[in-house]
C-alpha cells in the first residue's frame, strides 16, 4: 500500500488559511456553453486563451492554494509554450486534476445518474502525477426530488467514489471527493439538510469500507440551502447553521478539511454564505479546515469582463483577484456585502 504521509502535507497546503481552490475544470462542453453565453464561437484556441488568462493572473497565489484542471488543460500551455501545470507550480499552486468522466443515466433509476471513469484510472493517475498533479477530484451528482436520491443510487455512486479515492491514494494523489447535492429544485432547507447528511454518511461509509485513509482526503461539498426555486430562499445565517449541523452528523473528524462548490449561486451569494459559515465555525469547536473551491462563483465576473478580447485581459484578471480577495476575506469571516 502507498505511504499516505506525503498526502497529509498536500492536504495542509491546499487547506492553508485564507486560501482556496480555483475550480477551472469545466468540461469542454460546459466551457463551450459558457463561451456561447458570452456571444463567442467556442474553439480550442479560445478555451486555451481563457485558461491562460486565469493561470497567469499576477498575484493569484496569495489567495489560491490549488487549481483544478481538466485533462485538456493539464496538457495545454501558454503562448510561450510553458505548460499550464508548470505555470501554477512556479507560483506555489498545486495542480489538481479532475479525473471523472462525467455522468451517465443510472439505468432503472429515473432522473438519477452515475459517475464514470474508473476503468483506466490507475494508468491515468500515473500520467497526471508525472505531469505535476498532486491531487485530484471526482464528482458525483445527486438530485433532490420527492423520491430521489434513492439509497441504491447513493450506494452505487459511493462505491465508485471510494474506488476512485483508493486508486488515487495508491498513485500518490490526494483525492478530493465531491458528492454534489444539486441546488436546483423546489426542496426546503430541511430536506436539503436531510439529503446531504444521508449522502455524506453513505459516501464516507464506503470510503471506510475500502480502507481509504481519511486523513488524506478532502471533502468538496455543496452548502446546505433550500432549492433554487423554493419560496423561502435561505439566509446566510440559516445556510451556516444547516451546513455545519450536517457536517457534524456525517463527516468523520479525521477528514482534514471541507471545501465548498458554489453550485449555481451568484458569486456574491456564495461569498456571503461562505462568510457566515466561517463566522459560525469560529464560534464552534470543529475539527475541519474550511475553504472555497468555486468555479462559477469566481469565474462568472471574470468571463463577463473578458468577453474573448485580448485588450480586456487585464480587466478580467483584476476581476479574478477581486473575487479571490473577497472569498479569502469570507474564509476568515471578515467579508461584508458593502465591499462589493
Ligand atoms: P461550481 O462552483 O460552479 O459549482 O463548480 C464547482 C465544481 O468543481 C463543480 O464540479
Beta strands in the chain (DSSP E): 20-24, 64-69, 94-98, 103-105, 113-115, 135-142, 174-181, 218-221, 257-260, 289-292
Contacts (Cβ under 8 Å, ≥6 apart) of 302 = 53, 54, 316, 317, 319, 320, 323
Structural domain harbouring 192: 5-339
Q: Is 327 touching ligand 1 by the criterion CB < 6 Å? A: no
Atom of ligand 1 nearest to the CA of 270: 2
Rounded to whole angstroms, the Cα distance separating 202 from 213 reads 16
SS3 164: helix
DSSP string, 12-78: HHHT-TT-EEEEE---HHHHHHHHHHTT----HHHHHHHHHHHHT-TTGGGTEEEEEE-HHHHT-B-
Give which of 57, 135, 56 is closest to 325, Cα–Cα: 57
Instruction: Specify which residues 135 forms β-bridges with.
Output: 96, 174
Looking at residue 17, what is its pLDDT?
A: 97
297 close to ligand 1 (CB < 6 Angstrom): yes
The predicted structure's pLDDT at residue 1: 61
Residue 159 to residue 162: CA distance in whole angstroms? 5
Partners of 105 in beta bridges:
113
Nearest CA to ligand 1 atom 4: 263
All three cell numbers of 136, joined, read 485530484
C-alpha cell at 6: 506525503
pLDDT at 2: 75
Instruction: Confirm or reject: Cβ of 263 under 6 Å from ligand 1.
Output: yes
CATH number of the CATH domain containing 53: 3.20.20.70
| Peptide bond preceding 270 in cis form (omega within 30 of 0) | no
281 is catalytic: no
Ligand 1 pocket mutation, candidates 29, 96, 295, criterion most atoms within 8 A of CB: 295
296 CB within 6 A, ligand 1: yes
- pLDDT under 50: residue ranges of the chain: none
Catalytic residue among 112, 137, 178, 300: 178
How far apart (Å, rounded) are the C-alpha atoms in residues 38 and 308? Answer: 8
User: For the whole model, what pTM was predicted?
Assistant: 0.98
CA–CA distance, 187 with 228 (Å, rounded to integer): 8
Coil, strand or helix: which one is 145? strand
Cα(295) to centroid(ligand 1), Å = 5
- Among residues 98, 220, 279, 289, the one annotated as catalytic is 220
CA–CA distance, 326 with 263 (Å, rounded to integer): 18
Which of 258, 256, 244, 259 has the alpha carbon at shortest distance from 297?
A: 259
Question: Which one, of 79, 88, 72, lies nearest residue 26 by Cα?
Answer: 72
The domain tally of the chain equals 1
Q: Is 83 a catalytic residue?
A: no
Give the distance (Å) from ligand 1 centre to CA of residue 46.
21
Q: What is the CA radius of gyration of the chain?
A: 19
Amino acid at each position: 500500500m502507498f505511504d499516505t504521509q506525503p498526502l497529509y502535507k498536500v492536504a495542509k497546503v491546499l487547506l492553508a488559511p485564507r486560501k482556496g481552490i480555483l475550480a477551472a475544470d469545466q468540461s469542454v462542453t460546459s466551457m463551450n456553453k459558457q463561451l456561447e453565453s458570452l456571444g463567442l464561437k467556442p474553439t480550442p484556441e479560445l478555451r486555451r486563451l481563457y485558461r491562460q488568462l486565469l493561470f497567469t493572473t499576477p498575484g493569484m497565489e496569495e489567495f489560491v492554494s490549488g487549481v483544478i484542471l481538466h485533462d485538456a488543460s493539464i496538457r495545454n500551455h501558454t503562448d510561450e509554450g510553458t505548460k499550464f501545470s508548470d505555470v501554477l507550480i512556479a507560483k506555489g499552486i498545486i495542480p489538481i486534476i479532475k479525473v471523472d468522466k462525467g455522468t451517465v443515466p443510472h439505468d432503472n433509476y429515473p432522473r438519477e445518474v452515475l459517475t464514470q471513469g474508473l476503468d483506466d484510472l490507475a494508468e491515468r493517475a500515473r500520467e497526471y502525477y508525472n505531469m505535476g498533479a498532486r491531487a485530484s477530484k471526482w464528482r458525483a451528482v445527486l438530485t433532490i426530488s420527492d423520491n430521489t436520491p434513492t439509497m441504491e443510487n447513493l450506494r452505487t455512486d459511493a462505491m465508485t467514489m471510494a474506488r476512485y479515492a483508493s486508486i488515487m491514494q495508491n498513485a500518490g494523489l490526494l483525492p478530493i471527493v465531491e458528492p454534489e447535492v444539486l441546488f436546483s429544485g423546489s426542496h426546503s432547507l430541511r430536506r436539503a439538510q436531510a439529503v446531504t447528511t444521508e449522502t455524506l454518511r453513505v459516501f464516507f461509509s464506503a470510503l471506510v469500507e475500502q480502507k481509504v485513509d481519511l486523513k488524506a482526503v478532502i471533502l468538496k461539498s455543496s452548502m446546505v440551502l433550500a432549492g433554487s426555486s423554493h419560496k423561502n430562499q435561505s439566509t446566510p445565517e440559516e445556510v451556516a447553521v444547516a451546513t455545519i449541523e450536517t457536517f457534524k452528523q456525517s463527516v468523520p473528524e479525521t477528514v482534514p478539511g471541507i471545501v465548498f462548490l458554489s453550485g449555481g449561486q451568484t458569486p456574491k451569494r456564495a461569498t456571503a454564505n461562505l462568510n457566515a459559515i466561517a463566522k459560525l465555525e469560529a464560534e464552534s469547536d470543529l475539527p475541519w479546515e474550511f475553504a472555497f473551491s468555486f468555479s462559477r462563483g469566481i469565474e462568472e465576473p471574470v468571463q463577463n469582463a473578458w468577453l474573448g478580447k485580448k485588450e480586456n485581459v487585464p480587466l478580467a484578471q483584476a476581476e479574478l483577484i477581486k473575487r479571490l480577495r473577497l472569498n479569502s476575506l469570507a474564509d476568515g469571516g471578515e467579508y461584508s456585502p458593502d465591499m462589493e
